[in-house]
Amino acid sequence: MRCLAFAETLRWAGWSCGFAMKREGAEFLPARAMDAVEMHALDDDAGFDVAGATLAVVDHYGLDAAFERQASAQGARVIVFDDLADRPHDCAVLVDPTPGRTRDDYRAWVPEDCRLMLGPKHALVGRRWLAHRAAMRERMASGSPVERIIVSMGGTDPQDATSRVLSALSVTGLDAHVDVVLGSGAQHRERVASALGPSATLHVDPPDPAALAAGADLAIGAPGSSSFERAALGLPAILIPLADNQRGIADAFAAASAAEIVPTAMLDDPPALAARVTALAADRSRRAAMSRNAARLTDGRGCRRLLAAVAGDIVAKSERSVRLRLAEAEDEGWLLELQRQEPTRRFARDPAIPSAAEHARWFARVLDDSERLLMIVETDDTPSGMVRLDRLSDQPTAFEVSIAVDVVRQGEGIGAAALALLRRLAPGADFVATVKAENRPSLALFAAAGYRPDGDDRYRLQAA
């Protein structure tokens, strides 16, 4: 699911994506994913040839540095998804969203120049989840009654935890509709279907699981990748660990008071599990606090953070290392000062200097907008400018580019490096820039980057 989430973000940016996996694994992909990615069903997943790929995203507990070096030798930039920190890797970027994870956990396992993206803010959540976040958090803050419960114990649920949860819910006495989510490859679908009560609905590979979860007031699930999706929404949850690698996530959610953790053994004690569900459903203030705490763990923008990191680093003519990173809440003040600089305002669409309140409202809208990507340009890990991509809805995979460089950093080649990094980030997209005729420095910058006239004050760079 985390691979599907990142593939969705890559496709949004114009990438073509394929999945390579063992034949038996491919059977468990959600049906909605089959039309979105190219499938390579393998007999031997360790021997896959990645030649021709720009990126190789490796999410496999049985593969390590040996496979990753092979992929790098074939020309791919390697990104690894992990949550175990138990084997060597040879990759450019490693993502582990486990709460409490630190660099020391990977110090012995990755090269020194590996970019580590650790902790819940890097959880890989699909773009649709982010779209529901603001409205969901507002509803949860009001302490609404539990009228709808979503049960998601994993796509395949080999232990049939779903049926046992339904057994407990049947004795709670709650007047709530239950939405049950399973994948098409779930082994116990028929048993689950037979356990459904009159106020329950089974959803197999739902086309929009984010919308389904956003309609719930309480979730019951396993603490896997879906925990971060629910947390991004601020959906209160009861988590039941079903595998050893889920216990770390469960412990972290419990420590943050972001979910209630129920021991696995309680699945075989329906009255006890029912009592826990009933107690949490009745405690509106606790559920509201749980929602706030869960939303603090992850903001649902992990895929965007990773997309920014895909571009890597470039050495500018000043010999400074330039990279992109996603804009964060703490960048608001610095960006306001950048927007107030005279060179920035002189050629802006609106030359008026924004007030702090106006900037705050704009900044909040941009962070929550799934069609915009606001990034900080860093030189040697220090903010030096910003770039923004705004998706153009009237054109296939095209973005309007906006860029501003701190006045003290101008003349160092940072703008040129930033535009080159954008090309790496979205090689399959067209870029469009609006530049006023009197803005000669920007005209020269975009011309040097390959942008060509495309109408009045507009310049375009075609997809690579």
Q: What is the CATH number of the domain that holds 8?
A: 3.40.50.11190
Does the structure show a pLDDT above 90 at 41?
Answer: no
For the segment 155-202, what is each residue's pLDDT rounded down to a tens digit?
889 999 999 999 999 999 999 999 999 988 888 999 999 999 899 999
What is the average pLDDT value for the chain, to the nearest integer?
A: 92
Do 394 and 419 sit in the same domain of this protein?
Answer: yes
d(Cα 378, Cα 250) in Å, to the nearest integer? 35
Instruction: Note the pLDDT of residue 30.
Output: 67
Please check whether residue 324 lies inside any domain of the structure: yes
Greater confidence (119 vs 46) lies with 119
Q: Which of 268, 297, 326 is the last residue of a domain?
A: 297
Are residues 155 and 28 in contact, defined by beta-carbon separation less than 8 angstroms?
A: yes
What residues contact residue 460 under an 8 Å CB cut-off, 6+ apart?
A: 430, 431, 432, 433, 451, 452, 454
d(Cα 293, Cα 401) in Å, to the nearest integer? 35
Do 342 and 398 sit in the same domain of this protein?
Answer: yes
d(Cα 206, Cα 88) in Å, to the nearest integer? 37
Confidence of residue 152 (pLDDT cuts 50, 70, 90): very high
Please check whether residue 306 lies inside any domain of the structure: no
For the entire predicted model, the pTM comes to 0.89
d(Cα 65, Cα 81) in Å, to the nearest integer? 13
Please count the structural domains in the chain: 3
For the segment 370-382, what is each residue's pLDDT rounded down to a tens digit?
899 999 999 998 9
Of 427, 428, 423, which Cα lies nearest the Cα of 403? 423
d(Cα 256, Cα 355) in Å, to the nearest integer? 36
Record the tokens describing residue 398, joined without a space.
Answer: 């095209």
Record the tokens describing residue 406, joined without a space.
Answer: 């701190």
Confidence of residue 420 (pLDDT cuts 50, 70, 90): very high
Collapse the DSSP code of 55 into the 3-class scheme (helix H, G, I; strand E, B; otherwise coil) and give the result.
strand
Do 251 and 361 sit in the same domain of this protein?
Answer: no
Instruction: Note the pLDDT of residue 401.
Output: 97
Domain that holds residue 16: 2-122
Do 79 and 143 sit in the same domain of this protein?
Answer: no
Give me the amino acid identity at 131: A
For the segment 231-276, what is each residue's pLDDT rounded down to a tens digit?
999 999 999 999 887 888 899 899 999 999 999 999 999 999 999 9
What residues contact residue 352 under an 8 Å CB cut-off, 6+ apart?
A: 345
d(Cα 434, Cα 430) in Å, to the nearest integer? 13
Q: What is the mean pLDDT of residues 314-319?
A: 92
Q: What is the CATH number of the domain that holds 333?
A: 3.40.630.30
Record the tokens describing residue 155, joined without a space.
Answer: 């796509």
Do 367 and 446 sit in the same domain of this protein?
Answer: yes
> What is the distance of C-alpha 40 from the center of its chain?
24
Do 210 and 115 sit in the same domain of this protein?
Answer: no
Do 181 and 322 sit in the same domain of this protein?
Answer: no
Q: What is the mean pLDDT of residues 297-306?
A: 94
Of 218, 204, 227, 118, which Cα lies nearest the Cα of 156? 204
What residues contact residue 227 under an 8 Å CB cut-off, 6+ apart?
A: 221, 237, 239, 249, 253, 259
Please check whether residue 60 lies inside any domain of the structure: yes
Do 338 and 269 sit in the same domain of this protein?
Answer: no
> Which segments of 338-426 are extended strands (E)?
372-379, 382-391, 398-405
Are residues 182 and 9 in contact, defined by beta-carbon separation less than 8 angstroms?
A: no
Do 15 and 111 sit in the same domain of this protein?
Answer: yes
Do 116 and 162 sit in the same domain of this protein?
Answer: no
Do 320 and 434 sit in the same domain of this protein?
Answer: yes
Q: Which of 122, 154, 182 is the last residue of a domain?
A: 122
Please check whether residue 303 lies inside any domain of the structure: no
Q: Which of 66, 97, 122 is the last residue of a domain?
A: 122
Please check whether residue 275 lies inside any domain of the structure: yes
Does the structure show a pLDDT above 70 at 207?
Answer: yes
Q: What is the CATH number of the domain that holds 281?
A: 3.40.50.2000
**What percentage of the chain reaches a pLDDT higher than 70?**
97
Are residues 228 and 160 in contact, defined by beta-carbon separation less than 8 angstroms?
A: no
Confidence of residue 146 (pLDDT cuts 50, 70, 90): very high
Do 326 and 396 sit in the same domain of this protein?
Answer: yes
Does the structure show a pLDDT above 80 at 300?
Answer: yes
Helices (H) and strands (E) in the chain, counts: 18, 20
Please check whether residue 417 lies inside any domain of the structure: yes
Please check whether residue 251 lies inside any domain of the structure: yes
Record the tokens describing residue 456, joined without a space.
Answer: 């009045």
Of 311, 308, 299, which Cα lies nearest the Cα of 134? 299
Please check whether residue 145 lies inside any domain of the structure: yes
| CB-based contacts of 335-344 (< 8 A; 24+ apart in sequence) | 335/359, 335/363, 335/386, 338/385, 338/386, 338/404, 338/406, 339/404, 341/404, 341/406, 341/407, 342/407, 343/407, 343/410, 344/404
Does the structure show a pLDDT above 90 at 428?
Answer: yes
Instruction: Note the pLDDT of residue 31.
Output: 61
